[in-house]
């Protein structure tokens, strides 16, 4: 019999090709915001300025010193700018790092965010913030950082290079897969996750082969929205805890790290999460979801192992030690330092995690 609790998250979503160019002013009118701080990376700044042009002098400042994983000093500089120009809203145009910077501003100022994502990170629909200080990433949940409005425009993702699209889309896939066993999972987040996997699996190969295909871009962005929504409610499980440590402590690139680690964690957990494995397989339309994810990653040109991203073998131990303290008790399969070391080592080397399965106990019972 069903038993669950579920807190639905608020937020307005506007989805469609061309909406970023057409709807921005109307969305700020809805918020009654007149002093907008625009946040974008240096690379995306020209595009962001072009999109924000219809807002005219309602854009009172631009913050472009965005960095991955939001270093605390960057967050403080962005907050200081927001305060000095008396901003009453933040417009974030960019990937997860840009959204993360906007969230850092909202966390201390309470300013509303209008997020226009240009990758498939999904951060724009979560109340999760992240900050990095002295090589340690801290995350937290606060409703103030949840964007009030998200404008999803697949046209903006056409410029995302094929390799980044693949990694970012697989990052979204990881949100969906992990949503089946993360601590806050419930039937609604699982529905979103299953449909997200289906949309992402449909869009990823097409975008890889034809990055200019707008309908495949739309599939991916829709999948990314569902992935972020599922993750927002279900929360972080083993996979996200591992990637969080690898990004924060070793500065590995976020999306590629997720893409590499995902099949390993699924292979590790699947024997003790048969319902999740069945639903993931169903959404991917295959018998073995681990094999399918591995094949998909290879086809999309994702590097085989974390060593290809610059992780050194001797850092595997340190990563396992940091992950050990944060694995949720709800993880379907028991973990300890040794199993985590083997799991992360397999992801480092790009070898088969079934070797880890054979070498350790497989049940929490």
Residue 184 contacts ligand NAD per CB under 6 A:
no
From the number of C-beta atoms within 10 Å of its C-beta (0-12, 13-18, 19+), residue 143 rates as exposed
Residue 353 contacts ligand NAD per CB under 6 A:
no
* Shorter beta-carbon distance to ligand NAD: residue 256 or 353: 256
Single out the segment in contact with ligand NAD by CB under 6 A; choices: 157-165, 207-215, 216-224, 275-283: 157-165
- The residue from 198, 254, 294, 341 that contacts ligand NAD (CB under 6 A) is 254
Looking only at residues 81 through 100 of this chain, which bind ligand NAD when binding is defined by CB under 6 A? Answer: 94-98, 100
* Residue nearest ligand NAD (C-beta atom): 96
Residue 160 contacts ligand NAD per CB under 6 A:
yes
* Shorter beta-carbon distance to ligand NAD: residue 68 or 360: 68
* Shorter beta-carbon distance to ligand NAD: residue 220 or 347: 220
The site that binds ligand NAD (CB under 6 A) totals a number of residues, namely 28
C-alpha–C-alpha distance, residues 12 and 30, integer Å: 11
* Shorter beta-carbon distance to ligand NAD: residue 46 or 274: 46
Residue 121 contacts ligand NAD per CB under 6 A:
yes
- The residue from 164, 286, 291, 309 that contacts ligand NAD (CB under 6 A) is 164
In the complex, what is the shortest distance from the CB of residue 119 to ligand NAD, in angstroms, rounded to a whole number?
3
* Shorter beta-carbon distance to ligand NAD: residue 138 or 361: 138
Residue owning tokens 């094999």: 291
Residue 331 contacts ligand NAD per CB under 6 A:
no
* Shorter beta-carbon distance to ligand NAD: residue 255 or 284: 255
Closest CA to 125 of 54, 41, 229, 240: 229
Residue 217 contacts ligand NAD per CB under 6 A:
no
Residue 118 contacts ligand NAD per CB under 6 A:
yes
In the complex, what is the shortest distance from the CB of residue 360 to ligand NAD, in angstroms, rounded to a whole number?
29
Looking only at residues 38 through 57 of this chain, which bind ligand NAD when binding is defined by CB under 6 A? Answer: 41, 43-44
* Shorter beta-carbon distance to ligand NAD: residue 94 or 112: 94
- The residue from 11, 122, 263, 289 that contacts ligand NAD (CB under 6 A) is 122
Residues that bind ligand NAD (CB under 6 A): 41, 43-44, 68-69, 94-98, 100, 118-119, 121-123, 126, 128, 130, 156-157, 159-160, 164, 168, 171, 254-255
């Amino acid at each position: 019999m069903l038993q669950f609790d579920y807190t639905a998250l608020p937020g307005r979503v506007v989805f469609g090709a061309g909406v970023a160019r057409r709807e921005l002013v109307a969305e700020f009118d809805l918020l009654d915001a007149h002093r907008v701080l625009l946040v974008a990376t240096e690379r995306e700044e020209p595009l962001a300025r072009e999109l924000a042009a219809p807002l005219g002098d309602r854009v009172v400042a631009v913050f472009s010193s965005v960095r991955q994983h939001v270093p605390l000093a960057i967050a403080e500089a962005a907050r200081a700018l927001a305060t000095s120009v008396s901003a009453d809203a933040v417009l974030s145009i960019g990937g997860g790092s840009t959204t993360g910077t906007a969230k850092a501003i909202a966390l201390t100022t309470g300013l509303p965010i209008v997020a226009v994502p240009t990758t498939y990170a999904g951060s724009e629909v979560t109340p999760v913030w992240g900050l990095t200080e002295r090589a340690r990433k801290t995350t937290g949940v606060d409703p103030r950082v949840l964007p009030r409005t998200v404008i999803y425009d697949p046209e903006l993702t056409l410029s995302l290079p094929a390799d980044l699209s693949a990694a970012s889309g697989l990052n979204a896939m990881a949100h969906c897969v992990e949503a089946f066993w993360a601590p806050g999972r419930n039937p609604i987040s699982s529905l979103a996750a299953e449909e997200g996997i289906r949309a992402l699996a449909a869009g990823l190969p097409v975008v890889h082969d034809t990055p200019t295909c707008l309908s495949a871009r739309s599939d991916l962005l829709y999948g990314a929205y569902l992935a972020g929504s599922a993750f927002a409610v279900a929360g972080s499980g083993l996979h996200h805890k591992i990637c969080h440590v690898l990004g924060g402590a070793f500065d590995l690139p976020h999306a590629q790290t997720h893409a590499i680690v995902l099949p390993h964690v699924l292979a590790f957990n699947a024997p003790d999460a048969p319902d999740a494995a069945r639903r993931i397989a169903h959404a991917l339309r295959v018998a073995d979801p681990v094999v399918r994810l591995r094949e998909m990653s290879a086809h999309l040109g994702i590097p085989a192992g974390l060593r290809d991203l610059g992780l050194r073998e001797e850092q595997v131990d340190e990563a396992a030690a940091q992950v050990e303290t944060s694995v949720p008790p709800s993880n379907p399969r028991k973990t300890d330092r040794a199993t985590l070391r083997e799991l992360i080592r397999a992801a480092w080397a790009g070898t088969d995690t079934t070797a880890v399965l054979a070498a350790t106990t497989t049940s929490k019972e």
